[in-house]
Structure 1
Amino acid sequence: MKTAELKNILISHINQIDDESYLNALRTIIESKSNFSNSYLEEYNNELLIAEEEIEKGNYFSHQEVKDKMEQWKKN
């Protein structure tokens, strides 16, 4: 089933609903999905920019350094 087809089916079903609380619940679901996606992507992109800045400053550990630190932690 294509996206456009699915949207039309959902719209048809929603048009038949008269229960305001049910419609509000659907609205909440739809809005939370949209808000979550936008805020998640914005936060993710911001974290990538910060990470790239840290790398440029030399603030990172090599893979071997991380492995060595893990071995030290295991000994404690």
Structure 2
Amino acid sequence: MNTLELKNILIEEINQIEDKSFLNALRTIIESKIKKENLYEEYNSEILMAEEDIEKNHTISHDDVKNKINEWKKK
């Protein structure tokens, strides 16, 4: 059984369920899976952008950041 066949079977079975609380539980599971996948994609995208910044030397040293913070504290 391939993924498409499994999806179709699940859709047919879900269409037969009348229990609202069970359907809400399924919805929560599905939304959680989607959010997790989106977070993973976003995380990977941010890693790639950070690597590009490093390659382009668009970085700030730790000491420079500490100095900036100290300047802000004086204001």
* TMscore range, shorter length: 0.7 to 0.9
Aligned-pair identity in percent equals 36
Q: Which residue of 2 aligns with 1:51?
A: 50
CA distance in 2, matches of 1:75, 1:24: 57
One-letter code aligned to 1:24: L
CA distance in 2, matches of 1:19, 1:53: 51
TM-score normalized with structure 1 length: 0.72
CA distance in 2, matches of 1:68, 1:58: 19
CA distance in 1, matches of 2:56, 2:71: 26
Long gaps (5+) in structure 1: 1-17
CA distance in 1, matches of 2:18, 2:44: 39
Long gaps (5+) in structure 2: 1-16
Runs (4+) of structure 1 moved beyond 4 Å?
none
Q: Which residue of 2 aligns with 1:36?
A: 35
Q: How far is 1:28 from its partner?
A: 1.3
TM-score normalized with structure 2 length: 0.73
Q: Which residue of 1 aligns with 2:74?
A: 75
Number of positions where the alignment pairs a residue of Structure 1 with one of Structure 2 = 59
Q: How far is 1:19 from its partner?
A: 5.2
User: Which shows bigger deviation, 64-73 or 20-29?
Assistant: 20-29
CA distance in 1, matches of 2:43, 2:65: 23
CA distance in 2, matches of 1:19, 1:72: 63
